[in-house]
Structure 1
Amino acid sequence: MASSGSSAKQRRTAEHWLRVVEKVRGSLSSGNVHKLFEDDYFIFELIKLLYQDSVEASVKIEILSVIEQYGSGVLPTNSVDQSVSALLDVFRNIYSGQGQTSVAAQLLITITTIFIENEELLETSLCSMFTSQLVDLINKVNHIASRRLRSCACQCLVQLETMKPGLLWKWHEVFIKLVKEERTDVGQDYMYLLIAVTSYVNQVENTGQQNVQTEQGNPEGKELLPVVSYIMDNVFYLSPPGLSAIACHIVAILKRCPGIPATDYMLTGRKQDLNPGPLCLKAKCLQDQNTICNVFKPLVLQCLSSLDPCIISLMLFIEGEFHREIISEAEERILVQRSLQFLKNANINTNTRLFIAHWLIGYINKSYPPASATSLKKAILPNVFDPIDVHTCKLDFAVKCCGQGSDNDLTTELHYLTQLAETTGSVRITCALYHVLFSHVTQNSSEAIGNLVLSITKTLFQNFPHLIPVIVDFLQAVKTSGSHGKLHSEILTLLHETVLSLPIKSLLTNYHNYLQVWLLSAQDTSMLQQRPVRRLLDLVKEAAANVKDDWHLGCMVLSICRAMMLHHHTDILYWRKHVSFKMIR
């Protein structure tokens, strides 16, 4: 009897949690799952399921993900503390049982998200208890079975430190000890945690933020240097993404802390005199420069031969931040040539090549004078085998970094894209072409570039009306930049007159493109609007005669009329507009 009663109870429990899970899934499908958490007790219903051994791990992870994504920011104030306490209790039960690592990791992520979404909790004893538990967890160095969980705990601590800089500084020495002892791949997470804590607390000190206190005071340069030194001595076993994240933090520390002691301490571990004499003070500037050089130079030289995109972008970033302070001019040329070689390699994914191009453009713009950058132009120019995105990027690169060449060079460089656009009428290719043309226009407002743009626009406008929105966007960008007012006026006049001369039936057939030109010209105070108003009236009459009851047509006509009234004297326009409005009505 007892056995059958127990079975019936288990069956009812299983049916109950299935109903709860189905309720959550149904709310997810309908998009109103956040409303479930408005009930104070609903979150506790979900947490009860996490205690059930009969609930599968995948279902528990699903429940925790729902709490994290939809409940963490809308939990009632009076139940947030209790919810976190209950989730922590679930974590202790699972962790003590040495099982369901995936569920335990998701629990840590969910609890961390709740703290981040409810910042007032970061000031409570509950947060102190949670951070202490995370630190206890990562103290189990070199424990293979808990690697994944320890890695997750490190990332949770980083997120908490990001939200409240200085929160973890009291464990700074503990983190240094853990970094030195950890020998598994989780060492990368430990290292990132250490440098993040060091970086964020250094940021607080330098920005003078109020209401952010550390329990042992803010660090000085002499405290930061051993950390930076140890990490840079051990970066070579890190993965490229991990190395990039850690190195960026170190750059930030050195930028904010120029008074870090000189290289002698870093390289030999000898303490320097904290009250230096006059000779040391005279050498301070050179010492600071040598410190930066010795921190990064081994890393940069080691990575010069790499073709990993993360590493190349990192080297460009570091060298851009400390131009000519780390490597010599010859070594810098090797770095740039390596980046160009990567950019030209057709076997590399297009998005990756664009990523490196972005970093290289930023670096050359920041570090190279135009005269020096011109020497790179031949290596940058595209070929016909490049994908359109890479082709466009290279042309843009050549204009922004190397300047504009002669008129013949300009025509030659744009010939391929121009022919492709004029032959295919592709919107994507035309966008790429106008992107490059805009770079030329903003860099050089010469008559040659104006004539070229005018010629290309005229051909595309006449042959491919569906490209008018692209041309209109280009015109608006030119007007906003103020770089070539004459070109804007000439192109707009050309398009305006061309549309006015079109037959009414052609206008009506393709009104959603052609009327964009009139809308743009109506916003130009220098262009007379008598003819457009008459043509607009004819267009409305033709639409009425053809019983073309088109909502979009009416909206565009009214938008043009509104633009005319806003930008022009309307005395002579009122009568025709009145007739147009009657026709539309």
Structure 2
Amino acid sequence: MDRHLSPQEWEQLLDDFSSSPSRRHRWLHLPLLDLAVSSLPRRDLPSHLKPLLLSLIDDHLLPPSPRSLPILLTSFLSFPPDHPLRDHLLVTVVSAFASALAAPLSKDHDAPPLAALVDALLAAANRPNHAPDRAARALACDALRALDAALPGLLAEALGHLYALAAAERSPAAQSYLLLLASAARHAVRLGRLRATASILAVAGPPTPFSVPAHLLSPPAASMAPPPSEVNVRDIRKVLALLMDRPQVLTPAAAMEMTAILAEIASAVLKWAPAIAAHIKVQFGGMLYSSNPMLLHSLLTLFLQFPDAFGAEDECTMARRLALAAREAHRPLAARLLALHWLLGSTMFRNLVPGLARWFYPNLFDPLALKAKKLECLAYVAARVDGDKVAGGRASEQATGLLDDGLVCVSAFRWLPAWSTETGVAFRALHRVLIIAAPHSTEDMRCSGAGELLNSTIFHHLQAILVDMASEHRGLVPVIAEFTNRLLACNSHQWAGEQLLRTLDERLLPRLEPGYQLASYYPLFEEIAQNETVPQLRLIELLTKQMVSLTKKHGPDTELKSWSQGSKVVGICRVMLKHHHSSHIFLPLSHLLVLTIESFPDLEVRDHARICLRMLSCVPGKKLRHLMGVGEQPSGVTPSHPGSLFDIPSPRPAQDLTSMTDMASYIHLERIVPLVVKQSWALTLPNFSVCSRPSGHILSIQDVSSAPSEQEKATGPAIERIGYTQETLRVMDSKGAETLQILRRYFACIPDYLHSSGLKIRIPCTFRFDSEPFNHAWRSDSPVSGSDEADELPALYAVMITFSSSAQFGKIPSCHVPFILGEPPGSGMDIVPIDNQNLEESSYCASVVIELEPREPSPGLIDVSIAANTENCQVLSGSLKPVTVGIEDMFMMASVPPDTLKEGVAVYYQDLFHALWEACDSSSNTGRETFPLSGGKGSAAINGTRSVKLMEVTPKVLIGAVERYLASFVVSVAGDSLVNILRGNGIIKNIVWEESVSDASVGADALVPYSPDSNLQLQLIDDDDIGVGSERYGHESKRDMGVMRVMIFLPPRNFWNKDEKNIRQVHMLDVLTLLCAAKGTVCSCITNTVSSGNSSSNVHSL
């Protein structure tokens, strides 16, 4: 490409390279490195793009090919010296040379540009030290050091010039000169230049022009390293003296690098110049009192490299300094941990650690990682002190005291749960005590110090700690069991785990009492039962007492506990059978199993105990242990499909989506209680005249051929404003006051649904699927027949059922079924009465409860989706038939004030019924009353009407329907005949029975008054149509059977009121008065609309 890229193209290129790699392909055909380097000196390129180009070269265009180095060097040399980007360009050029070149170099292609670059850098570094560009000189020295590290020995022949420059530099740039001299001297020592007779500091001419050393132009030759010459030993001592002369000019990072170089150079000539080590101690010993961890690390490097130069006092001082650094709270956590790591990691300081025990106690607010490291130090000290046996019994007391005091930091107030990190830290410290006292041995299977540790005070104290923990803190039992498992799994410390189990058997089991709390110790019991070296008599006796206790405490509320704990006890017995000789445990274990078989209440546990007893008494010991180990599965899991749950299945192709289309034909989610009224003709209640919010608007099924007129659209219940600003003084009688008191009490217990979760209703359903079509759709290889057992049936795992609906039911939570078997064909469930609400529990059905939070009392459909896993690791997903929600699902009882006694609920319901009936009278003043709601945030008003309808059914049909569907909503029954009939049936209970009340005045205050003596002018059905009701009710009067009062409430419905600019909740309240007569039934009902404004809420009753 001949032309340069424009600034806009460079911006686009930089943007593409900073994003995904796919956007870079269109630029890769260009010589990007050449274009970037040639664009840097351009004056027409914006200045903000040049640093970005250098970053592009560093990040994406390096390492370049050696052919690009001359162009890169030319660009650098032609760059203006005073340009602000020259330093950045220098770093880029040096990085390119250091990454592209490697020895041996090509004399014709690689050596010339490298020599020119070193020439330019040496010229920059050789400027007078009083020049103001000391930062540029320091950068040149750092660049030379980078090239010398990439090409070792590049500056070995210029060591004399570098020595002179470093000695003459007095500015802050001296650090760069000293590091450059140290790097060049180290490579000179590595290359064996000290054995030459000529001085390594000899200067034959000026530093420039520079020529590449010959050893970089040819492959390296292996040669023996003869001793250095006397003149070079003297010269290298001069170099070391200069490097150590000014440690104060070095930063901590530079000091750490310098000490590493000095240690390497001094070690190479220490044999011929032993005084160097003492010089190093004098020059760098002051770092001991520094607070910088880098300087402490530098001093430790010299400690380890020259141990003879530092005495015992210096070692003690250094150990105390490291221990003190770990206690200084102002230090970073990494520095404090590093100090303890240095202290324990070096053999030089390890013998000094016991004397520093008081420094290792964790503080209250130490980080947990630091506490763990300090506890490791205390464990080391305790193990060493107990092993030394110094000062008689005081050593043992000191060791146990260290362990107890150290654990206080993680258990001072209380032991945290077993899964907590603090508990893990405490048990790690206990484990470290054993590991330090008896280290792992690679030569022998058993630890060499096992016998001494078993008799040591620290081991006995550790056992006592664990016994007390298990006895006082049941939550730590799983951790103690895991601690014991870790010891048993180690070949070197298996003896410690066995001894610990014997101690728990001897000291812990006598402390335990049978009961439900004993289940916490079952993990330990299983470990004891697995170990052949632990006697089982105490454990069997305790388990026998446990089974007796479970039998005595068994009851209706403890069935699950009895089954769970009894199964675990029998499981422990099974472990004993597998790991112990039958002759050792036969008598006590057979007594335990016989007791379980005879008296334990759970059938499954008795069967398992019977199997274990039969194996114990009939199968020889060796064969029994072999049989118990065959086909061993994870404990507590019994696979119903062998080979499918515990084997890794082979990969299968993804299931074809066509097999999911008819999923609803064989996977069923069905209501347990079927709907009485089919809601296929309308899915929502009609909207009122007020406008609903758009998000909640649902269209009903309407007749498109008839458009309602404007007058019809305007009809509907008008909701009046709650607040009345002008109201005249009213005179109210005692009956009206009593009605208002009942209504106020009722509304005071209604929650504020506008500012809280709404009412919730639950629909119980059953979930099942058919085996034959399922196997056909999912290509299962297992045959299914009506007589096959459950193991041959297909299964679904991890079933997740999700719900959604266009109706206003809120967010419907999903349901989960962990496991379900397919329903076999011909299982007897093909013909089920549609009204059977008490289906027996089946192993092929799962109970699913759909939880709704309806925003309005309307029916609707719930869409059902399913996702599950099959036995063959296939993922099944799709839609099922929708579930219908009917209006009867939303029937609710009225709220009862909390101060109402249980015996007074029926009377309260009756009083509320009459109060609501009275409130809807056109002549009543209660309709103008406002009632405060629960919480005092809002109020409600009542607006209702009354009406009378004729239900063309016989009394028998009506009574049967009420008893079957509305029994829980009946408030009271009046009339001697009707009371006798309903009370004799025994279905309707806990209501008010009005036997002596006259039925003639029941409907006297209705909108259309009615009574046995006045005709409603409504056509009644003939006597011939009574039919089925004549047998039972023929002896009763045909006009005076009685009245049933029914009161049903529904969820609220929200509306946006345009006039008041707020959200209202409207609740329709319909109470029914059913007058039963032989000729027919008269239903007098009121529609009581209760509206609440702003933050109030009301009840909706049908």
Partners of 1:307 and 1:180 lie apart in 2 by: 29
Work out the CA distance in 2 between the residues paired with 1:159 and 1:135: 13
Query: Alpha-carbon deviation of 1:45?
Result: 2.1
Deviation per residue, 1:118-168 (Å, 9 max, x gap)? 343772212232222222221124255433332222222222222322111
Partner amino acid, structure 2, of 1:113: S
Change (3 A) 1:397 1:139: farther
Q: Establish whether residue 225 from structure 1 lines up as the match of residue 205 from structure 2.
A: no
Letter in 2 for 1:150: R
1:439 aligns with one of 432, 435, 452? 432
Counting aligned pairs with the same residue, the percent is: 17
The question of whether the paired residues in 1 share the 8 Å contact of 2:488 and 2:495 is answered with: no
Q: 1:321-400 residue pairs with structure 2 within 5 A?
A: 321-323=305-307, 325-362=308-345, 365-368=346-349, 370=351, 372-400=352-380
- TM-score, normalised to structure 1, is 0.68
80, 87, 99: which is aligned to 1:117? 99
Residue type at the aligned position of 1:532: Q
Which of 35, 39, 51 matches 1:61?
51
For residues 635 and 524 of structure 2, what CA distance do their matches in structure 1 show? 17
The reply on whether 1:245 has 2:251 as its aligned counterpart is no
Partner secondary structure for residue 29 of structure 1: coil
2:299 maps to which of 308, 311, 315: 315
Distance in 2, matches of 1:318 and 1:202, equals: 19
* 8 A Cα contact 1:404 1:444, kept in partner: yes
1:293–1:326 CA contact under 8 A, matched in 2: yes
Residue pairs, 1:564-583, within 5 angstroms: none
Aligned counterpart in structure 2 of residue 303 of structure 1, from 287, 299, 320 = 287
Write the letter of the residue equivalent to 1:333. Answer: C
Rounded to whole Å, the distance in 2 between the matches of 1:407 and 1:539 is: 52
What is the rounded CA distance, in whole Å, between the counterparts of 1:260 and 1:403 in structure 2? 44
The corresponding residue for 1:89 is 74
Which residue does 1:547 correspond to in 2? 797
**Kept in 1: contact 2:372–2:429 (CA 8 A):** yes
Residue pair 1:422, 1:459 contacting (<8 A) in 2 also:
no
| Alpha carbons 1:37, 1:71 under 8 Å: kept | no
2 CA distance for matches of 1:537 and 1:339? 57
C-alpha separation between the residues in 2 aligned to 1:135 and 1:146? Answer: 14
- AA in 2 matched with 1:297: V
* Residue 106, structure 1, aligned to residue 88, structure 2: yes
Deviation at 1:535, TM superposition (A): 4.5
Question: Residue 547 of structure 1 aligns to a residue in which SS?
Answer: strand
1:167 aligned partner: 154
Distance 2:634 2:291 in 1: 61
Structure-2 residue corresponding to 1:129: 116
| 2:493 counterpart letter in structure 1 | H
Residues 49 and 26 (structure 1), Cα distance of their counterparts in 2 relative to 1, 3 Å cut? same
SS of corresponding position for 1:384: coil
Query: For 1:538, what is the secondary structure of its paired residue?
Result: coil
Is the partner of 1:311 in helix, strand or coil? helix
Q: Deviations over 1:182-204 (max 9, x none)?
A: 12111001101111111133234
Distance 1:400 1:535, change over 3 A: same
CA distance in 1, matches of 2:407, 2:173: 51
Displacement after TM superposition at 1:251 (Å)? 0.8
Given that 1:457 and 1:471 are in contact with CA atoms closer than 8 Å, whether structure 2 keeps it comes out as no
Matched, 1:484 2:466: no
Distance 1:175 1:306, change over 3 A: same
Taking the aligned partners of 1:535 and 1:450, their CA distance within structure 2 comes to: 32
Q: CA shift at 1:242, angstroms?
A: 1.8
What are the Cα deviations for residues 330-384 of structure 1, in whole angstroms up to 9, with x where unaligned? 343333323322221122222222233333333xx321353x4311222223222
Alpha-carbon distance change, 138 to 191 in structure 1, aligned in 2, over 3 angstroms:
same
Please show how residues 362-511 of structure 1 align to structure 2 within 5 Å: 362=345, 365-368=346-349, 370=351, 372-400=352-380, 403-405=383-385, 406-417=399-410, 422-423=415-416, 428-430=421-423, 432-433=425-426, 435-445=428-438, 446=453, 448=459, 451=463, 463=475, 483-486=492-495, 494=523, 497=526
1:292 to 268, 273, 277: 277
Q: Distance in 2 between matches of 1:38 and 1:488?
A: 65
In the TM superposition, residue 482 of structure 1 has moved relative to its aligned partner by 5.4
> CA–CA distance in 1 between the matches of 2:141 and 2:475?
60
Q: Residues 380 and 409 from structure 1, CA distance in 2 versus in 1: closer, same or farther, beyond 3 angstroms? A: closer
- Aligned residue type for 2:96: I
The change in CA–CA distance for 1:97 and 1:105 in structure 2 (over 3 A counts) is: closer
Q: Following the alignment from structure 1 to structure 2, what is the Cα–Cα distance between the partners of residues 345 and 246?
A: 27
C-alpha separation between the residues in 2 aligned to 1:232 and 1:205?
A: 22
Partner Cα separation in structure 1 for residue 191 and residue 471 of structure 2: 58
Structure number with the higher strand fraction is 2
Query: One-letter code of the match for 1:105?
Result: D
State how far apart, in whole Å, the 2-side matches of 1:423 and 1:200 are.
Answer: 57
Partner of 2:703 in structure 1?
none
Taking structure 1 as reference, are residues 396 and 238 closer, same or farther at Cα in structure 2, changes over 3 Å only? same
* SS in structure 2 of the partner of residue 548 of structure 1: strand
CA distance in 1, matches of 2:296, 2:361: 20
What does residue 182 of structure 2 align with?
A: 195
How far does residue 548 in structure 1 lie from its aligned partner after superposition?
Answer: 0.9
Aligned partner letter, 1:244? M
Deviations 1:253-276 (A, max 9, x none): 122332343xxxxxxxxxxxxxxx
Letter in 1 for 2:12: E
Asked whether the equivalents of residues 417 and 423 of structure 2 are also in contact (C-alpha less than 8 Å), the reply is no
The residue number in structure 1 matching 2:857 is: none
What is the CA-CA distance between 1:484 and the residue it aligns to? 2.6
Report the TM-score when normalising by structure 2.
0.38
Map 1:145-156 to 2 at 5 A: 145-156=132-143
User: Aligned with 1:120: secondary structure?
Assistant: coil
Residue 639 (structure 2) aligns with: 538
Distance, in Å, in 2 between the alignment partners of 1:173 and 1:476 is 66
Instruction: Give the distance between the partners of 2:51 and 2:471, measured in 1 at CA.
Output: 59
Aligned-partner Cα distance in 2 for 1:206–1:352: 40
Q: How do residues 174-213 of structure 1 correspond to structure 2 at under 5 angstroms?
A: 174-205=161-192, 211-212=219-220
> 1:481 deviation in Å?
7.5
Q: Which has the larger radius of gyration?
A: 2
State the 1:494 CA deviation.
4.7
Q: Compared with structure 1, are the counterparts of its residues 335 and 404 closer, same or farther at alpha carbon in structure 2 (3 Å cutoff)?
A: closer
Q: Contact 1:142/1:184 (CA < 8 Å) preserved in 2?
A: yes
Q: 1:584 to 1:315 in 2, by over 3 A?
A: same
Assess if the C-alpha contact under 8 Å between 2:91 and 2:143 holds in 1.
Answer: yes
CA distance in 2, matches of 1:477, 1:63: 58
Partner of 2:999: none
Distance in 2 between the 1:333 and 1:44 partners? Answer: 61
In 2: Cα distance, 1:51 partner to 1:327 partner: 57
